[in-house]
Structure 1
């Protein structure tokens, strides 16, 4: 339970069924760890809300501190990627490494072996019809809140134990249920931004406390002229409006050159340099690791659909394997595909897995 409305309602729905329930709250990050002050104890507020809801539902709850595991397995690797100029997605790795990794590993063996693991994600699950049924990660009823993208990196063993009580509910229905049960979380707003940063406006300021400045040129890609200086590649994202003073029109980030520490801009948000059609994923992790679509080994490839960022429409694509690298060819040009981000693939509503984008063309 996170202290939010989604996990509160998930717990309530399960409490109405014949489960032996207990709740767990993960402490992954404490602002005091970075600031050295008592300012910003967000996790304590979340933990208080979890305890209030659990008391109302009459189920036990506990706090497990996974901040060290989060630092080592999610934050530190992400920090190194930002420093190198790519844009990672820590929330995807939090689900893989922490929620469905370190958290389950932290439970006593007997409890871990016999437990289901429920979350407040908007996702669904079914089982294959083979003699040995295998779990399938599916899109939920509420397509607007579909969070299978964030779950696309979890293992089959983690998915096997997962329950998604909200799979048939929409967000408005969840909030209405929370109000009916008078949960303190009913009106709580959805979290935004990266979990340990919060609002996006704080992002550059946050990273600057961990990564020393590394100034380099900002270049007009069309003219080759230096038009500014940046303090670090991590301060700009592909497709971002760079806001360069004195320019006659808005300039957007087209690419980064890590070897020369250079950021290249182009005029306008529709310039051809901002679009690409093919992306490459060197280490794609299928949820069914031993059963990727057979057609990816064939010249014609496999017809699937892609998301390369959260909250985007699924993109029809052809997927094939080239020199052990997954090549994903979109039917239509895509705007601002960003190396370091996660590319997830679906067969209809079935999420097959994901991997990190290394380059585009």
Structure 2
């Protein structure tokens, strides 16, 4: 049933080995290089040009055709504009999640199916599908589940948590059961040692080696404001714009004898409230409130009725450990998540991703955090966060 496979080839080792494994399995493989960004970095180099050269090298080594598709306009409107608007509004976006949702598993998926007549797509993500790495367990009409990669440290289901059911049903994840060391070994054995030695891309891909605070002012106008000490109400310094700072970030302010950390941003006044110490209780909360969630397979049965509870695990940063939580759905389809442990710098705009055993259930954007440990009494957790009345009060913050 699945014969013609189109693989997204980025020029990196993971997508290279995914393409190699597909070819060895006997599939008719076509590689596609997605050009999402075409602006030079601070050295005058366009990172996409460098990656395309590597993709050409890989495709020739493996002996598969390579097609380049330009999604620069789509990426600008559906990912980069979202990033700019989020930072301008005081939120903390996740462009990688939105890129997978809108570009790789929508634009690329549709291009592969419609223009290249693909039976399925494949990527180098470290993730697993309930249909198997090569869709060998595919069942027409059945829904697919997104599962943790065997390599927990490299697991990328976090970034796939907004992907549609339609595209996941016809997506292969050849690396889902592999370790990174084995992926690199395969690449070296196949004559792709130079690709295996490339450094992994970290952070937002289009920023390159620049710091975020040097990059973002190129696209957003600086709007100076004050740093205000949350405890005293005193102005302790000035900044160039709230878009340059994220919650929980440390800031050395001239004249301050201690390091201060960003607690809250006021988009109306451009003031940033800061607290002394990275472990200040005002930075911690046990409640997260979200907007409407995206369920990858289907909404859990325990949440079909409002104010019933789902016991599962979550994270809102890719590298953090999963944390047990209780999830409630309000009458207007918000999620109220009560964490077993307090979490630092819960930031509006970030995605909270939910897991049950090995399954990634889906995700939702955080709208705000519930009361901090500081507001609840210097780190003491009060009982009202454990009942529905307390959750209702928190959800109206």
1:133 aligns with 142
1:17 aligns with 25
Q: Cα RMSD between the aligned structures?
A: 1.8
Give CA deviations for 1:220-276 in whole Å, capped at 9, x if unaligned: 000000101111111111111111122222111111122322111111011101101
Deviation, structure 1 residue 299? 3.7
CA distance in 2, matches of 1:298, 1:131: 32
Task: Give the TM-score normalised by the residue count of structure 1.
Answer: 0.94
Deviation, structure 1 residue 107? 3.7
Structure 2 unmatched runs, 5+: 1-8, 132-136, 371-397
Distance verdict in 2 for CA 1:310–1:182, change over 3 Å: same
Matched, 1:342 2:390: no
Matched, 1:316 2:320: no
Deviation, structure 1 residue 129? 10
Which secondary structure state, in structure 1, belongs to the residue aligned with residue 237 of structure 2?
strand
Matched, 1:196 2:206: yes
Distance verdict in 2 for CA 1:261–1:323, change over 3 Å: farther
Which secondary structure state, in structure 2, belongs to the residue aligned with residue 196 of structure 1?
helix
Match of 1:79 among 48, 72, 84: 84
Maintained 8 Å contact 2:306/2:331: no
1:153 aligns with 162
Matched, 1:305 2:309: no
Maintained 8 Å contact 2:247/2:263: yes
Aligned length: 354
Give CA deviations for 1:6-41 in whole Å, capped at 9, x if unaligned: 011111111101211100000000124x88xx9212
Match of 2:48 among 43, 47, 65: 43
Give CA deviations for 1:60-79 in whole Å, capped at 9, x if unaligned: 01110100000011101211
CA distance in 2, matches of 1:197, 1:256: 23
Give CA deviations for 1:259-314 in whole Å, capped at 9, x if unaligned: 322111111011101101111111211113xx311222354410011110111101
CA distance in 1, matches of 2:17, 2:68: 19
CA distance in 2, matches of 1:210, 1:175: 37
Deviation, structure 1 residue 132? 3.9
Distance verdict in 2 for CA 1:110–1:4, change over 3 Å: closer
5 Å matches for 1:1-361? 1-32=9-40, 39-107=44-112, 109=114, 111-112=116-117, 114-127=118-131, 132-183=141-192, 184-199=194-209, 201-288=210-297, 291-296=298-303, 297=305, 299-324=307-332, 325-361=334-370
Task: Give the TM-score normalised by the residue count of structure 2.
Answer: 0.85
Give CA deviations for 1:49-104 in whole Å, capped at 9, x if unaligned: 11111111111011101000000111012111111111100011000100011112
Structure 1 unmatched runs, 5+: none
Deviation, structure 1 residue 163? 0.6
